[in-house]
Structure 1
Amino acid sequence: MKKEEFHTFKEILKQPDSWQIIYSDITAVNDTSSSGKFRVFKNGDFDEIIFFGCGSSYNLSQSASFFARHLAKTSCSIAVPSSELLTNPDLYFRGDRKYLAVGFSRSGETSESVEVAKILRAKNNVTLFAFSCRQESSLCKLADACYACPDAVENSIVMTISFSSMLLAFCAIFAKSMGNPQILKDIENLIKYARENLLSVNSLAQDYVGKNNFSSFFAL
């Protein structure tokens, strides 16, 4: 089987196209107004941001949390596994603070994350924003607002294009809500760079592997 026939290989190379669709979608609409679905990210509307997800989506949450801490320096931001929030929600959500909860799930049907969303819906001081690749998923339906990444549905078992697309979507929405045009410009430049250089990275990897007598190797 040729590498071009593998789902994962095709999805990795497709990433810049997916990112461009997401970036254009987010930046094209003035949706940070009081009625817009991105308004929940406006600085000052919350005391703390809590990101959650399972498995790779939890790793995604950690990256999103780091970005949020960098951009919204006055807000506390942490990433928590969905299973931990499901077991101990009151340790993380206090009644005297306002929270923005941000959940990530490729399918939007991850059982622990969906159950967390159900718990958060009952809390008046929590606003839930979900990121998924399926608009009609349970997580999106439970959330106060949701962004479903167009063109990021994948066939690979391990997250590829969905991981990077959901992270880029969050970064673009958050930067736009924070009024940071430089970050948006950086994202635009990243997409352009990836489109121009992604194939050459594959060639470099093949050349490196070909020059070394590896008995086995893993790509993560």
Structure 2
Amino acid sequence: MNETLAANTSGTQTWTEEEIRQQPTSWMTALHHLDNQRAELDDWLNTFYAQPGGKIILTGAGSSAFIGDIIAPCLARQLQANVVAIPTTDLVTNPMDYFHAEQPLLLVSFARSGNSPESVAAVQLANQFVANCRHLIITCNATGDLYHYACEHDNARVRLMPAETHDRGFAMTSSISTMMLSCLAIFAPQLFNSHSFASVAACCEAIIASHGDFSQSAFGDLNWRRVVYLGSGGLQGAARESALKVLELTAGQLAAFYESPVGFRHGPKSLVDDETLVVVFVSSHPYTRQYDLDLLAELHRENIALRVVAISDTPATVMEAGPHLYLPASRTFNDIELAFCFLVYAQIFALTASLKAGITPDTPSASGTVNRVVQGVVIHSWPEVR
């Protein structure tokens, strides 16, 4: 990794900016590494698939959990299997609701550091509850507890991401996107591989280049006090991660929310006022897209928000009635591929919002109330309380 920190025009140097910029290169590196490891991993996975009634849980904490929100629907459809996303923060508090003794389980753990208390506890609880339990650890840290667990236990395998994705900044950027891509490539290699994904990486490289020194975001620079991200299906997971980036990097000074475009009408829409930025992640699926564009047209008619920005890879008349972003020219992307592009826009926006607020993005929590690796979590043994 380049040891020279990235700099913006304000003179502030941040690892966060460097880690946003490095993503397209890191993605392709991870995919090429996976190409060399595929045969052994495929054999291991096939023995799991051969068991009837198996369940795959995608898990992690914070941004790592949102990986599952984004990709679980796609993987369930591709594998025609029971694939669900459940955060470690839920698994450790309510293991009895998610682990079933006689149901074969593959627990896929996403972890930047692999040292979060909940991540380690979720693995231990899964082993305790499930007789036939396997673990796939996808992590960025070769010295983390989860990495060492996978190396020492026969029921586990580990895939280590490129070293530079063990983000030094507080917020997860290259770590979340590279782990997400690697999981997709592991379970759906026919769709996600070094050949097919090159166009997505090139598109994101162009998005990053278009932002120059990152002194401004593509959403504009108005005096908004809250931001709302909207997306359907897996793009709702991308909206959730985008909202978290704003909260993290502005230390909560800019309030951020997420929803689906259809769900937004059922109460959350009441938060929109003349200090609100709304960002709509428009689906590429022709059916789902209709709902996204319907809400976009509604927001334009009502004209309550300070700004409504739509992002899409294909044009639509309703989008051109207001601020909008079309992705750099490329082939048509599916929604999971779009998620990578949309997340890059959201990461850059969160970084610029952080700098505008006078916050140091690498260490936004001056009070220390939140930390890069979560602290203060007491893990209770099962069954400690009956």
TM-score, normalising length: structure 2: 0.49
Q: Distance in 2 between matches of 1:213 and 1:97?
A: 52
The structure-2 alpha-carbon separation of the partners of 1:148 and 1:207, relative to structure 1 and needing over 3 Å to count, comes to closer
Q: Distance in 2 between matches of 1:216 and 1:10?
A: 27
Q: Distance in 2 between matches of 1:85 and 1:198?
A: 36
Match of 2:199 in 1: 189
Say whether residues 1:15 and 2:19 are aligned partners: no
Say whether residues 1:25 and 2:33 are aligned partners: yes
SS of residue in 1 equivalent to 2:102: coil
CA contact (8 A) 2:211 2:217 kept: no
Measured against aligned partners, the alpha-carbon deviations of 1:143-181 in whole angstroms (never above 9, x if no partner) come to 3011111131211111111010110111111123xxx2x
Q: CA deviation at 1:2?
A: 3.9
Match of 1:99 in 2: 105
> 1:1-220 counterparts in 2 under 5 A?
2-3=7-8, 5-29=13-37, 31-32=38-39, 36-42=40-46, 44-45=49-50, 47-73=54-80, 75-122=81-128, 123-143=130-150, 144-150=156-162, 151-176=164-189, 180=190, 182-184=191-193, 185-201=195-211, 206=216, 213-214=222-223, 218=246, 219-220=349-350
SS of residue in 2 equivalent to 1:50: strand
Q: Distance in 1 between matches of 2:50 and 2:143?
A: 27
For residue 115 of structure 1, what is the amino acid of its counterpart? A
Percentage identity across paired residues of the two chains: 23
Measured against aligned partners, the alpha-carbon deviations of 1:68-119 in whole angstroms (never above 9, x if no partner) come to 113212x111111212211222322222321111011110001011011122
Higher mean C-alpha displacement, 164-173 vs 55-64? 55-64
User: Once superposed, which parts of structure 1, at least 4 consecutive aligned residues long, lie more than 4 Å away?
Assistant: 201-205, 207-210, 215-218
Q: Distance in 2 between matches of 1:25 and 1:207?
A: 33
Q: Distance in 1 between matches of 2:50 and 2:127?
A: 17
For residue 61 of structure 1, what is the amino acid of its counterpart? G
Q: Distance in 1 between matches of 2:218 and 2:139?
A: 35
Q: Distance in 2 between matches of 1:172 and 1:208?
A: 30
Ranked by relative contact order (alpha carbons within 8 Å, sequence separation 6 or more), the top structure is: 1
Q: Distance in 1 between matches of 2:90 and 2:222?
A: 43
The structure-2 alpha-carbon separation of the partners of 1:56 and 1:125, relative to structure 1 and needing over 3 Å to count, comes to same
Q: Distance in 2 between matches of 1:103 and 1:110?
A: 11
For residue 41 of structure 1, what is the amino acid of its counterpart? L
The structure-2 alpha-carbon separation of the partners of 1:79 and 1:159, relative to structure 1 and needing over 3 Å to count, comes to same
Q: CA deviation at 1:204?
A: 9.6
Gaps of 5+ in 1: none
CA contact (8 A) 1:172 1:187 kept: no
The structure-2 alpha-carbon separation of the partners of 1:88 and 1:22, relative to structure 1 and needing over 3 Å to count, comes to same
Q: Distance in 2 between matches of 1:78 and 1:124?
A: 19
Q: Distance in 1 between matches of 2:141 and 2:69?
A: 22
The structure-2 alpha-carbon separation of the partners of 1:204 and 1:54, relative to structure 1 and needing over 3 Å to count, comes to closer
The structure-2 alpha-carbon separation of the partners of 1:203 and 1:137, relative to structure 1 and needing over 3 Å to count, comes to closer
The structure-2 alpha-carbon separation of the partners of 1:189 and 1:27, relative to structure 1 and needing over 3 Å to count, comes to farther
Q: Distance in 2 between matches of 1:199 and 1:95?
A: 50
For residue 132 of structure 2, what is the amino acid of its counterpart? N
Q: CA deviation at 1:202?
A: 5.2
Higher mean C-alpha displacement, 4-13 vs 123-132? 4-13
SS of residue in 1 equivalent to 2:22: helix
Specify which structure has the higher proportion of helix. Answer: 1
- Structure with max Cα Rg: 2
